[in-house]
Structure 1
Amino acid sequence: MTGRTNAPQSSPPRSPAPQTPPPRSLPLHGRSAELAALATVLNLSGPDAPVLVLAGDPGLGRTALIAWAARSFTAGPVLRVRASRAESALPLSGVHALRCAADGLPGGPAVGFPDAGTAPEWLLRSLSDAAAGSPLLVCVDDAHLWDAPSRAALGFAARRLPAAGPVRLLLTVTGRHTADPDFAALPVLTLAPLPSSAMDALLDDTACGSVAPAVRAELLDEARGNPALLRALVAGLAPAELSGERRLPWPAADAEALRSAAGAHLAGYSAAAGELLLLVAAAHEHDPEGVGADADLVRGAAARLGRARAALASDRLPDALVLTDGRFRFTGPLLRRAVHACAAPDRRRAAHRALASVLEGEGHGLVALLHRAWSVAGHAPALADQLCAAAADPCVAASRAQRSVAYARAAELTADGRERAEHLTAAAGQALLAGRARVARRLVDRARDGALPAVVRGRSAWVRGTLALRDGPAADAGEALLLARSLLAADDPAHALLAGLAAAEAAWATGDSVACLRALNAADRTPVATAAATTVGHVGTVADRPTARGAEPDSLPRDYLHGMRAMLERDFGRAIPRLRRVVEHAWEEDGPERLLWSGAAALLLGDVPAACRIGARTLAAARSRGPEASVPRALELLAYAELRTGQHARARAHAEEGLRTAHRYGQGNVAAHHHAVLALAASIADESTLVAHHAGAALDTARRHGLMQAVTLAEWASGRADLGRGRPFEAVARLGPLVRPGPDGGHFAVRMLVMPCYVEAAVLAGQREDARAVVEEFALWARFGADAQAPAQLARCRALVADEDRADGLYEDALALHARAGGDFEQARTRLLYGKWLRRRRRLREAGGCLRAALVAFERCGARIWADQARAELRANGAAPAAARAGVLEGLTPQQLRIARCVAEGATNREVALRLAVSTRTVDYHLRKVFAVLGVRSRVELSRMIERPGGDGPRPV
């Protein structure tokens, strides 16, 4: 209850300063801001307030931070008091505890003992007397548990401690108590859950030995940013479980771990309060991520439980609960989980039985069945059958997460191993559709049974393959999905066809066109099934529509299959009509998975505006009817289509949201694609840091999982950023491998989009023959018509590699084609290149017109780095005055300034000549003039001068 550290010192106190923890103390990961705030309070010489309230949910580290402060405060004694709920009903028990802890301090024990009316002034005077002019740190942990008079006295003293005085006061409370009148006026620092990087480091510190990547992901997901729970989880695992040699227990966060992390915060409640807490926790179980337990439901169930009814009738709820908007909520998710898991089984079943009785009377089908199922012990096959029937019925109102929970509970109630595995597989499929990837993985791992029928093993392989497709090696996903297709073909042809199409999607992601064709051929061998011959109980369903007797075969997946296959076989006469039918289906569909096919078909046909509309429709459908797991992929389609139309700002906004949802639903591979789109969007602006960040994040996942499409997009972004910054040699090095055909090149469906960038970079780098070879292959792509920008880009590429007498006309052709295709960015790039070409031929008036139009277009679409190039060309052209510049560079001509900046970036004279389209002799001449004007004698001195703030810094040329 009470304690004291750091005995009083007889020597004069040292001059205080912000403290750091002793080397022997364990690191507090992810709390640098909190430690800095504590050090500020401990600094006696500072003008800041001498009080700080640390707020946060149990397990987030309030006590650990108080302990750090106590260890760090070496200027004088420390009083530490921890409040207890058991004493909260005793008037002035908190004040008494603080008085007991202060015995023996320099000021001696406090004189007398106050009553409730005099306690505030007495406590303030006692703290000052106890310090006796020397530094004193007072720490009160869980101050919200003090009795009301003690809380009032503590708040009074805290508000009146002088900033320059010797007493420093640190309090901790749970988050909701910061608004209490006693603490509301005090400075508060609220602890948030630890970020993943800090939890990762804490896991390394806590675990003895190696932790397998899958185990690490499981533990971090289960702990949800709570360091106390993570430590408890690790403490309960054997080394073989941490290393992945043995399977993790189920559930990972069991009663023992939750009690270890939160048990102290649940002690001291009366029997009535404890029963009410359990009832509210049980009412959360069917929707743990929801907005709380319905108050009317809780009151109705409490009427069947005498002690819970008495707790509701009291004037004050237990401090772990709040009642807002007609719902009971726990102050933190850890408390709710601990209350439910740590309760005695018979009490927990009684709470669920009471809830089931209320829900059954109100007609809540699946939810009522769930609570009834949780109220029984042992096996109950009849109840398991009822749960499965309700979970499989599309007319029953329930979320996919609730259906998953129902199937999982049915498995626990089932004695037969085969039926149990079937229920677990169905539960995994629904969890997958709900976007709960890790739950799906755990469920399907528990469903292993060699004696299962082929259809159940096929559904299990479907779940595993889909999980790997969203967050795993794409090649493994493809093989698992092909296995699912073969196992499902006889009994569930509708899902077998979908599994084959998903296997083709996996092969597409890897860039393996042969594997993609193999998967499509396998899917085509699947027997014809009637439309939507699936139910919500089956996994991986794309439409969740009930089967109609005598329904016609569903033509959409077959059209998509045949169109894709014909496209890969370059049989465009067969491909185009099929894919057009798939696109036309989009305006009649509301299933996100089927709409994704239509969006992909629109992109293959080059109808990018239609792909944007379908992407927006897919996103709306995923948000309104689900499945939730489709939202990140809908955003991926939309962001990529907008990128193809040149709408970089909109593409960035959707990709940022897609990245957040992909991480939320455990879809690492989808997140990699969103990172690649964000890198491409950033590559047109002067945002090299963002390009490097997003490209690096995309490549990190894409290379591990074999996602060649994401690799190509990310490398293209880096190469385009190099080209925009006037670094053609670096751009050629990045883009060259992407345009090569075959397995060592870029993705077969993306490499054509990269070719115009590569041609431009190769020409600027003096590799005209290499560029010319690529142009001829790009001409085949432009003739196909799948890219509206390709004909104009082809004319621009031909102008770059053409002889002098043909280039002029080709640039004009390119601009005319751009005018028909639209797209500010690509048209501006052509105008910039044409303007450069005109300026070299001294056609300055025409060059100025092209360059000004390019500058306006670049600024309109946010392409700042390219706009800088256009400005530099205008200055060199003499058509635009150079901006007034202070410093040593204003004596240089525009051409000299451009050469100086190139040299400052490390370019050789030959590289500068190629970059600026001048001769090496011209560069030598101007560089000598630069050295003379600036008074420098080496390239190193020139670089330093250019990079100084007064030198205006290097810019793209």
Structure 2
Amino acid sequence: MSPLPGRRREHEAISELLAGGGGALVFHGDPGIGKTALLESAAGQADGFLVLALAAAETESTLPFAALHRLLGAVVENASGPPASQALALARLLESGPAGESRFATFVRLLRLLRRVAGERPLLCCVDDAHWLDPPSLEALAFVARRLRGDRIAMLFGWCDETVPVSFGVRGLRLAPLDDRSSREVLRDLVPVADVAGALGSIAMGSPCVLTDLARSLTPEQARGEAPLPQVLPPEHRLRRAHRARLLRLPADTRWLVLLAAADEELDVDGLAAAAAVSGVDIGALEPAESSGLLRVDGAAIRFVRPLVRAFTYHESTMVQRRSVHSLLARSVDPRTQPLRHYLHRALAAYGPDDGLATRLERAALASHGRHGAASRALERAAELTGDAAIAAARVVAAARHAWRAGEPHRARMLLRRVRPATVPARVRAVSAVLEAEIGLRTGAAAPDVDALLAVADELAGHDRGLAIGALARAGEALWVSGERSRYLDVARRALASRRPGEPPIVELACEHLATLSATLRGAHRRAADALGRTVTSVSTLDNAEAFTQAGLAAILCGAELEAHRLAGRGAAIARANRDLSVEPRALEIAALAELAMGRYDDPTTALRGLELARESGQEAVASGQSALLALHAAILGDRAACLRRARDAREAGWARAVVEWALAVLDLVDGRHPEAFARLRAATGAHVVLRVAATPHIVEAAARCGVRPAGVAALRVFDAWATTTANPRWLALSARCHALLAEDNGEADEYFRAALEQHARSGADLDRAWTALLYGQRLRRQRRPAAARVQLRGALDTFERLEARPWIDRTVAELRAAGHHVEHRQPPAVEALTPQQVQIARLVADGATNREVAAHLLLSTRTVDHHMRNIFAKLGVRSRVELARLMS
């Protein structure tokens, strides 16, 4: 049975339990978080087990032993012989009240009965809604669960945290909300439109029950993304009914205060007290809501215990109540100090169009710094209050831009769907098209329509050249990513031909970026460097994250990795300060690419952070790019498992896929499969000339080793034309290494290898230098110069061991032994106390991996890794991961 999306940890725990010698687990969490689905999944994968399933009933929670009586009935129905007779006898005892024996004796009889059943066939007992168990039944089942050692009995409980905290005395796993990727996977067969699925994921806040039930409630128009989506479950849904009943148990004044808090996420205690005073309610009326666990007060902050409770509370009120609440909150929020909140509440309280209010709300939204989510919703409401269709459309597009910056790409694209091209001005259509192209490029949801962008540029060329060039720039980026070199050059020519003196700085930068990239594609590297110089000069006058990020990419293409790293880092910092999630992941991707270009393989932190942010903000294409870079990083270090794991996360097409193929080719090189590496590199880089140049050192090595020297010479000719213009020691070193590999004369090869090592010393790229030294040592040994070979190989080994590059260590040791030098693998003395598997785990943890990542890397369960970590700490005498990392280094 396939694991439920987002529940890998839980499925591993279930599999371990079913495969082991008995035990119990409690899955607990919020209502609708997926406890029932997990228990059902466990029952489905329990092949060969007798499965007893019990769902506790609230109506029987006050009847002593009612749940246990039902469980015994299931034993009678499914077992035979003595176990069935014992179950029947125990059930009759419970019916008459077990007055003749102690409760302890009754519990022991239950344990013996279940062991008798399991003696004939392994037993899985699933108890759902365990929070509704009557107390004696709960005590009995918990008694059994704590004593399952060596039995063939597995017990699983589902417990809702909304009632009382779970206290079983057995292992518990709290179910976390699903992430965006898992939510979309849940909806794969229910909602075919990606943006609808993504937007529903945001509304459901990680609840699989809410997610699937919302999807099933959609109208055909909503499912196609042509109508606004519901913001909450239907009124008669069981979760809403349960919440409604919970609200109705509170006093009326308490419900009013809870509704005030639900209507404004930024409302703090002072603000609620002010609003309460205006409405004539004592703030002390909030206490029953706190006591019931509905919300809590942390200092000045008011927090709902679960995010969905806020939405349920708000939508349980009537329209009149909601407008009344917003009107009250508007009066209690000062428009001078908090204009966005003030006018948004006024707008939500308004009836019908109000152009004046819409204008004030728009101004407040555009003036809010970094509050993109609130600004987006304010602009959306401003559009609803606007009478002029063209102005309303412009506000919808602005709302989409802020949603994109807030990390809500699906909502942004849903807003853009409302813009009907036939009814809005050309400029609004253009802004919408360019924004949609940007979102498509970063999310990978849909390839931008290049022809539509070119048509937009043509339409606006005469009266809005800045936006026209922006459309051309996005069209060019789409062509660059897809590797369509000739079309990219055509687009760049169109943009550069329309340049005029005195362009605005941002337009000038877009042109210089196109000039840099197009010159690189044409092989005019001097012109590219000149354009980059103008770009760096211009961008320094701006405070634009996107401009710095694009300049960083241009710098990488010109071989200026240090400058690229600085520029991209500045772009990421600006985006972070502005809370702009539309740019920061991309800036970190360029920074990580710059680090890779510098030969920095010892710290993938930048790429990992970029990957995390890209996933959080729904930028799957950027996440794929980061995964591909991490795969290449791992491949160069020879870490096959990490490379393959990252490769699986990258998309199956485009630039990221080409980088993954490059990474897999590097693994082939590391393993000595040179023909396979060469074939893979040729196929991967065929449509991407820039990648082909960057991969040339690997292409040449593979070509030289598998007897296709002319292909290596041709690739190196292109590489040299670029590398010599950069004056960059790293690229010059790699060029010299390539010439050495292709040299047919040993003397010529020696000269090139020595030149390469000299340049490596200037570049500071240690692994590059070690790789070159290994290749040189191999050649020297084959020339029957073992003493000279050993010098190179020992230096290479020191670096590979420091970087923990395991395959490189093995290759170098083998070469040293072949050169007549006996070498023992060196590792920290204390590590000798560990088993080989513990050494692997300790090294991964020292490199920063979590226990779960280690488990995935080594194909173990997380519990097994936890066990090994306790033993590792005990054997090495360390108390923390920091101490372990220090020892392993």
Give TM class, smaller chain.
Answer: 0.7 to 0.9
Question: Structure 1 residues 681 and 672, CA, compared in 2 at 3 Å: closer, same or farther?
Answer: same
* Alignment root-mean-square deviation, CA: 4.3
1:646 is aligned to 599
Does 2:218 correspond to 1:237? Answer: yes
Does 2:675 correspond to 1:729? Answer: yes
2:29 is aligned to 56
Deviations 1:235-259 (A, max 9, x none): 21357865xxx44541244441794
Question: Structure 1 residues 875 and 447, CA, compared in 2 at 3 Å: closer, same or farther?
Answer: same
2:62 is aligned to 95
SS across alignment from 1:360: coil
Question: Structure 1 residues 665 and 727, CA, compared in 2 at 3 Å: closer, same or farther?
Answer: same
Q: 2:631 aligns with which of 651, 672, 679?
A: 679
Q: Quote the offset at 1:387 in angstroms.
A: 1.0
SS across alignment from 1:55: strand
Deviations 1:728-758 (A, max 9, x none): 111111123456xxxxx24122211212211
- Tell me, yes or no, if the aligned pair for 1:586 and 1:614 is still in contact at 8 Å: no
Moved more, 403-412 or 791-800: 791-800
Does 2:738 correspond to 1:797? Answer: yes
2:801 is aligned to 859
Does 2:610 correspond to 1:658? Answer: yes
1:523 is matched by which residue type in structure 2? Answer: A
Moved more, 347-356 or 769-778: 769-778
Deviations 1:785-844 (A, max 9, x none): 265423222222222222224322232233233333332222222222221111112111
Q: 1:622 aligns with which of 569, 572, 575?
A: 575
Question: Structure 1 residues 343 and 484, CA, compared in 2 at 3 Å: closer, same or farther?
Answer: farther
2:564 is aligned to 611
1:848 is aligned to 790
SS across alignment from 1:363: coil
- Greater Cα radius of gyration, structure 1 or 2: 1
Q: 1:328 aligns with which of 281, 292, 302?
A: 302
1:837 is aligned to 779
Q: Quote the offset at 1:690 in angstroms.
A: 2.5
SS across alignment from 2:291: coil
2:129 is matched by which residue type in structure 1? Answer: D
Counterparts of 1:797 and 1:723, CA distance in 2: 14
2:316 is aligned to 342
Q: Please, what TM-score do these two structures have when normalized by structure 2?
A: 0.78
Moved more, 554-563 or 805-814: 554-563
Deviations 1:532-566 (A, max 9, x none): 79xxxxxxxx7xxxxxxxxxxx7544544444444
Paired-residue identity, %: 31
- Tell me, yes or no, if the aligned pair for 2:469 and 2:495 is still in contact at 8 Å: yes
2:277 is matched by which residue type in structure 1? Answer: A
Deviations 1:598-626 (A, max 9, x none): 31232233221222222322222221224
1:502 is aligned to 474
- Tell me, yes or no, if the aligned pair for 1:286 and 1:402 is still in contact at 8 Å: no
- Tell me, yes or no, if the aligned pair for 1:53 and 1:170 is still in contact at 8 Å: yes
- Tell me, yes or no, if the aligned pair for 1:321 and 1:329 is still in contact at 8 Å: yes
Q: 1:592 aligns with which of 541, 545, 567?
A: 545
Taking the TM superposition and a 5 Å limit, the aligned residue runs for 1:255-404 are: 255-256=233-234, 259-270=237-248, 272=250, 276=254, 280=258, 283=261, 287=265, 293-305=267-279, 309=283, 311-314=285-288, 316-360=290-334, 363-392=337-366, 394=367, 396-397=368-369, 399-404=371-376
Does 2:685 correspond to 1:710? Answer: no
Counterparts of 1:820 and 1:570, CA distance in 2: 26
Does 2:175 correspond to 1:191? Answer: yes
Taking the TM superposition and a 5 Å limit, the aligned residue runs for 1:22-61 are: 48=23, 53-61=26-34
- Tell me, yes or no, if the aligned pair for 1:566 and 1:574 is still in contact at 8 Å: yes
- Tell me, yes or no, if the aligned pair for 1:258 and 1:334 is still in contact at 8 Å: no
- Tell me, yes or no, if the aligned pair for 1:55 and 1:178 is still in contact at 8 Å: no
Counterparts of 2:203 and 2:251, CA distance in 1: 27
2:483 is aligned to 511
Does 2:93 correspond to 1:107? Answer: yes
Q: Please, what TM-score do these two structures have when normalized by structure 1?
A: 0.73
Counterparts of 2:787 and 2:354, CA distance in 1: 88
1:933 is aligned to none
- Tell me, yes or no, if the aligned pair for 2:268 and 2:300 is still in contact at 8 Å: yes
Does 2:700 correspond to 1:759? Answer: yes
SS across alignment from 2:93: coil
2:810 is aligned to 868
Deviations 1:234-289 (A, max 9, x none): 321357865xxx445412444417945543243243365577467546645565xx
Counterparts of 1:162 and 1:660, CA distance in 2: 38
Instruction: Specify which structure has the bigger relative contact order, considering alpha-carbon pairs within 8 angstroms and separated by 6 or more residues.
Output: 2
Counterparts of 1:676 and 1:100, CA distance in 2: 53
Question: Structure 1 residues 525 and 316, CA, compared in 2 at 3 Å: closer, same or farther?
Answer: same
Q: 2:587 aligns with which of 624, 628, 634?
A: 634
Q: 2:770 aligns with which of 803, 806, 828?
A: 828
- Tell me, yes or no, if the aligned pair for 1:615 and 1:637 is still in contact at 8 Å: yes
2:208 is aligned to 227
Deviations 1:492-549 (A, max 9, x none): 444443333333222222222332233333334567698879xxxxxxxx7xxxxxxx
Does 2:753 correspond to 1:811? Answer: yes
1:778 is aligned to 719
Counterparts of 2:384 and 2:597, CA distance in 1: 50
Moved more, 100-109 or 768-777: 100-109
1:5 is aligned to none
Moved more, 709-718 or 454-463: 709-718
Gaps of 5+ in 2: 74-90, 118-124, 827-889
SS across alignment from 1:378: coil
SS across alignment from 1:189: strand
Counterparts of 2:145 and 2:748, CA distance in 1: 84
- Tell me, yes or no, if the aligned pair for 1:108 and 1:130 is still in contact at 8 Å: no
- Tell me, yes or no, if the aligned pair for 2:568 and 2:588 is still in contact at 8 Å: yes
- Tell me, yes or no, if the aligned pair for 1:828 and 1:858 is still in contact at 8 Å: yes
Q: Quote the offset at 1:367 in angstroms.
A: 1.0
1:919 is aligned to none
2:645 is aligned to 693
State the aligned residue count: 792
Counterparts of 1:369 and 1:351, CA distance in 2: 14
Counterparts of 2:346 and 2:105, CA distance in 1: 57
Counterparts of 1:267 and 1:70, CA distance in 2: 32
Counterparts of 2:343 and 2:621, CA distance in 1: 37
1:671 is matched by which residue type in structure 2? Answer: A
Counterparts of 1:482 and 1:218, CA distance in 2: 29
Q: Quote the offset at 1:638 in angstroms.
A: 0.9
- Tell me, yes or no, if the aligned pair for 1:40 and 1:46 is still in contact at 8 Å: no
Gaps of 5+ in 1: 1-22, 85-92, 114-120, 534-541, 543-553, 740-744, 885-957
SS across alignment from 1:107: helix
Q: 1:460 aligns with which of 423, 432, 439?
A: 432
Counterparts of 1:298 and 1:764, CA distance in 2: 74
- Tell me, yes or no, if the aligned pair for 1:272 and 1:307 is still in contact at 8 Å: no
Question: Structure 1 residues 66 and 850, CA, compared in 2 at 3 Å: closer, same or farther?
Answer: closer
- Tell me, yes or no, if the aligned pair for 2:406 and 2:582 is still in contact at 8 Å: yes
Counterparts of 2:637 and 2:370, CA distance in 1: 46
Moved more, 218-227 or 682-691: 218-227
Does 2:126 correspond to 1:141? Answer: no
- Tell me, yes or no, if the aligned pair for 2:66 and 2:137 is still in contact at 8 Å: no
More helix by share: 2
